[in-house]
Amino acid sequence: MSGKHPGAHSDTAMHPRKEGKAGMAELFDFDEIIDVRSPGEFADDHAPGAISLPVLNDAERARVGTLHKQSSAFEAKKVGAALVSRNIAHHLETYFHDKPRDYRPLIYCWRGGSRSGAMTTVLRAIGWQAAQLDGGHKAYRRHVIDELARLPEQLDFRVISGPTGVGKSLFLRALQSCGVQVLDLEDIAAHMGSVLGAYPARPQPAQKLFESRVWSALPNFDAGKPIFVESESRKIGNLHTPEELLKRMRASPCINLNAAIPVRVELLKQEYAHFLADTGLLGQKLDCLVAIQGKERIESWKALAAAGRWDELVAELLMHHYDPAYTRSLERNFIGAFAATTLELPAADPATIRKLASALADSIA
């Protein structure tokens, strides 16, 4: 992990660490960050760039925990120590076998206890300058929460607003390719934000991991330059946008992106191409709207899909579902968008989107 994360604020000269220990300020000062918790814990959340080398797998962790509750701490520690020792040995024979003499990993478990302590002790006994993260993942998680409350207020956001299908995500990516700062929350959340917005082969991260990834992105921005972000709702799929970030976005200036219905239909057909190949999956998603649109309209939309009348179906969805929902959301959350500058997207091709993004990028340079 060469190259410091801007949010780490390392200051080891003023606050020297204990031998074999490191604090949150030193999180990104090591060659690697190693998470020795179970795979399930790792999937729920982990430090940016961390690799998973569990010293107890999920079943072993459950077994030790059950022993602790039903027998005694002593019995649990005996069994746990044997399991941890075998797993560390496996990692030494595989992952660590070719690490150089000057290798410096940072190790953490849940709260900086026995699991990371065991791994750190063994690696240091070999001669590597391993360190254990003080407080473990618990301290890391507390730091992320604190920083997500602090950082957004220091940043200058510009919100790209506009109705569904107008190409906001594509426009943001085009802006980014022009050298403009962009926070793409939908990419981080692995979801396009609407009822049909789940990616077919990319599941959403857990909420804590989503927050870790947002936190990791924020310190990399230049606070003296604008950061463009989409006008997200409180939820992106199943994930909640961090509260202070959402507040800051809603108080920020907006730029509207607009396009005629045929352009939006074309963009949505590109974005949701997987539904064109799987009308059954589309039908399942449309069923989620029965309470809002009524069974008769949903069945008519399914019939359009079955007949391959995609332009008609997408236009119906825009006019009867997405546009009214978007207007209501805008009135609640981004009232400034109604008086904001509007950029018109005349066509759905990448070159046109890039040209519009380039013009905006030039205007803020």
CA torsion through residues 44, 50, 51, 53, sign: negative
Q: In what order do the strands lie in the sheet with 254-258?
A: 181-183, 227-230, 157-161, 254-258, 341-344
Contact call for residues 229 and 157 (beta carbons, < 8 A):
yes
Is residue 178 flagged as an active site residue? no
Q: Indicate the residue type of 152.
A: P
Selected catalytic residue, list 109, 178, 254, 288: 109
Q: Which of 158, 177, 192, 164 is nearest to 350 (CA)?
A: 177
Those residues whose C-beta lies under 8 Å from the C-beta of residue 128, and which sit 6 or more positions away, are: 99, 101, 103, 104, 105
What radius of gyration, in Å, describes the C-alpha atoms of the chain?
A: 25
Contact call for residues 164 and 230 (beta carbons, < 8 A):
no
Q: Which of 276, 297, 275, 277 is nearest to 287 (CA)?
A: 297
Annotated catalytic sites, by residue?
Answer: 109
